[in-house]
Structure 1
Amino acid sequence: MAARALNICVGDFGVITEAVWNHMTPGPALAGGEVDFEIAPDAHYLIQHSIIQNFAYTLEAKLIGERVYDDPASYSYRKLDPAEVVTPPMARAQLAPFLARATLD
């Protein structure tokens, strides 16, 4: 899951973000949902949708609330080519050199 586009507004009231989110999901995870197309069980799909988040803070910068608005009309689905799919083991292997150098110092 990742933000494809992100706008941020900061003010005395708090922070508002507007984002287009992308999710990569296997076909079987969409089964039983509200999609209006035939799902290929061996395929992965890109789900894209818009979210607005409103984080309210006090004047002392203490978080006092969060409201999230997910636009159901913005959902789109695209079947991914197998070459576009990154599995968790693939990501782990690609990130391993970076994670090996990471420290908590």
Structure 2
Amino acid sequence: MTHRAVITRNTVATTDAWNRPDPPTFTALKTVACRAWSKTRKHISDDGKETLVEDLRALFPKDADIQTGDRVTVNDRRGTLIFDSLAVLTVSRKGANVRHSEVVFERHK
């Protein structure tokens, strides 16, 4: 696989005195080989507003410890940043003999 993903996870899930969740504390778990790409990208313009809708996906080894809610930063093998601060929306394995997990991302800043 041509990219490297740094997987971070919220390790502290506490609440304050008013029972509101505290800000998340993301801790780097490990770096995993992957292949990430932008499946579709389209510009939408409506009533003077413009937005960019992008479908970001990646393939990970099926035994990679990645879960919904994790944050991922994707670099190439030399360390050049490809995608930064991606939130994991879904993790899916399709079929019985599949050797990879497909992950759908959302950009999160």
TM-score by length of 2: 0.26
RCO comparison, higher one (Cα < 8 Å, 6+): 2
TM-score by length of 1: 0.26
Query: Whose Rg is larger?
Result: 1
Q: By percentage of residues, which structure has more strand?
A: 2
